Chains A and B, each alone.
Chain A
């Protein structure tokens, strides 16, 4: 019995992410949730209790006359108007406190600028100059200042375990802090409807030790190497010749556009298509063969590559570590 309880509690926590906060900010919202739930549950118990009591105690029986016609009681009604007023004041105070602790104002320049696109997230570290997509690396235990922007429609940035959600509004930059107590990969989603592929606009927040984070950032700064291997080199040539370059950028090549995700360190990312599949060579091949098959509505067209070309491109992209 004792072994079942903690494990079911752990299962509960893995499922209900909002209830397993992984940062001080999320924890202060969680605590407010507990306090509020206690108040609301008490209200529910009292009122539902009255209703159930009435249903059990005051049933109609054949032949009985109508009961005493009570039209109300002003005193009782004033009491039950005043008590909610007090509850409202208490909830307001709790809310104000939590808003300040869960979402402090921004200070200085942001550490990360996240821009929502239909249907992926662009991630920039303005200090270091790193640019990536759908993956936000952060050092553990340090609040990171994130600025939210949008390149097109509304999107919404939500990592339930780490922070509040906030909308990415075109022309109106927003700000939140994210932080993680423990290393790990935390799933984030877009929670504001943004069009066809709103469902697949996931991202990962990857929290790692300061050293790992520094190493990651260092690695991301390197431009892509020109592949020595023959097939991959053909892939690069093909990439540079086709209209791939009018949307994507790969540092160290001629491709500098930023309509689609930056691919310089593509192979280092865990997922493809903003979370729709894992980033494996097989999935990449499927994606390049027909993006619309994998993610209908995605902005990337079908280039009708031949099998040979697909092999070359996959070989090249796998070098982009």
Chain B
């Protein structure tokens, strides 16, 4: 399924833009999708480890869509589509909302226990991530937020996600109960993971929360610094003197 969709994505890309160098970004994006969905990571996320699920979540929401946007030729405008899709506020809520919505206990459990919900989750993360990042990474300079606004956009999104990360890290109750229970053990690995690797249910949730809190913020920070670099690059490109 994933392989077929990847092939379609590559085909569609070539059909739309012909072969060009930027397709490399798309291939990396698809590679990341494979890493997320077709590797042991997915097996661990499937009922064993909340933290593995969180890694998937971050990759699908923040990494893959960004890479996919990189792959678009610089000549490609994203202006197509309804006007409301272009609003920064919508992009912000798409990025932050995807995090909060899928970590409501009910949704989190449903995504693990039901295949269709899981598929919806994966697709929605990719799409919402795309909406979020287009404000920053649209191929056309004019379709992106101005750097100072982009910094605020990213900063506030980071804080909004960190808050959820903080809640998950220090929550005295289980957020995603399905990972804490003993019910799911399709591969018979539970004992190894819990005792052998030392991932107790509470530690697992803590790591999940911390992943959302710290590394995710670092992704935003990297984006913020890239925005500042972009801003200053606008300023003094031609006349910078060497030492």
Complex contact flag A–B (Cβ < 8 Å): yes
Which A residues touch B240, using CB under 8 A? 71-72, 74
A3 within 8 A of B: no
What bracket does the count of chain A residues touching chain B fall in? Answer: under 10
The CA of A73 and the CA of B240, in the complex, are separated in Å by: 8
The CA of A71 and the CA of B241, in the complex, are separated in Å by: 7
The CA of A278 and the CA of B148, in the complex, are separated in Å by: 66
A282 within 8 A of B: no
B242 within 8 A of A: yes
Contact with B along A44-87 (1 / 0, CB 8 A): 00000000000000000000000001111110100000000000
Q: How far is the CB of B207 from chain A (nearest CB, A)?
A: 14
Chain A residue nearest to B243 in the complex (CB): A73
Q: How far is the CB of B59 from chain A (nearest CB, A)?
A: 21
Chain A residue nearest to B239 in the complex (CB): A71
Main DSSP-derived SS at the B contact region = loop
Which A residues touch B198, using CB under 8 A? 105
For B, the interface residue count at a CB cutoff of 8 angstroms equals 5
Contact with A along B171-211 (1 / 0, CB 8 A): 00000000000000000000000000010000000000000
Which B residues touch A71, using CB under 8 A? 240-241
Which B residues touch A73, using CB under 8 A? 242-243
Contact with B along A229-261 (1 / 0, CB 8 A): 000000000000000000000000000000000
The CA of A241 and the CA of B208, in the complex, are separated in Å by: 59
Q: How far is the CB of A139 from chain B (nearest CB, A)?
A: 28
The CA of A269 and the CA of B89, in the complex, are separated in Å by: 69
The CA of A74 and the CA of B198, in the complex, are separated in Å by: 45
Chain B residue nearest to A74 in the complex (CB): B240
Contact with A along B213-243 (1 / 0, CB 8 A): 0000000000000000000000000001111
Which A residues touch B242, using CB under 8 A? 73
The CA of A74 and the CA of B229, in the complex, are separated in Å by: 11
Chain A residue nearest to B198 in the complex (CB): A105
Which B residues touch A74, using CB under 8 A? 240
Which A residues touch B241, using CB under 8 A? 69-71
Which B residues touch A105, using CB under 8 A? 198
Q: How far is the CB of B141 from chain A (nearest CB, A)?
A: 21
Which B residues touch A69, using CB under 8 A? 241
The CA of A105 and the CA of B241, in the complex, are separated in Å by: 56
The CA of A72 and the CA of B243, in the complex, are separated in Å by: 6
Q: How far is the CB of A169 from chain B (nearest CB, A)?
A: 14
Q: How far is the CB of A298 from chain B (nearest CB, A)?
A: 37
Q: How far is the CB of B113 from chain A (nearest CB, A)?
A: 32
Chain B residue nearest to A69 in the complex (CB): B241
The CA of A73 and the CA of B243, in the complex, are separated in Å by: 6
Q: How far is the CB of A136 from chain B (nearest CB, A)?
A: 29
Which B residues touch A72, using CB under 8 A? 240, 243
Chain A residue nearest to B242 in the complex (CB): A73
Q: How far is the CB of A97 from chain B (nearest CB, A)?
A: 16
Q: How far is the CB of A75 from chain B (nearest CB, A)?
A: 9
Binding site for B on A (CB under 8 A): 69-74, 76, 105
Name 12 interchain pairs, CB-CB below 8 A, sorted by A.
Answer: A69-B241, A70-B241, A70-B243, A71-B240, A71-B241, A72-B240, A72-B243, A73-B242, A73-B243, A74-B240, A76-B243, A105-B198
Known: A72-B243, A74-B240. 10 other contacts (CB 8 A): A69-B241, A70-B241, A70-B243, A71-B240, A71-B241, A72-B240, A73-B242, A73-B243, A76-B243, A105-B198
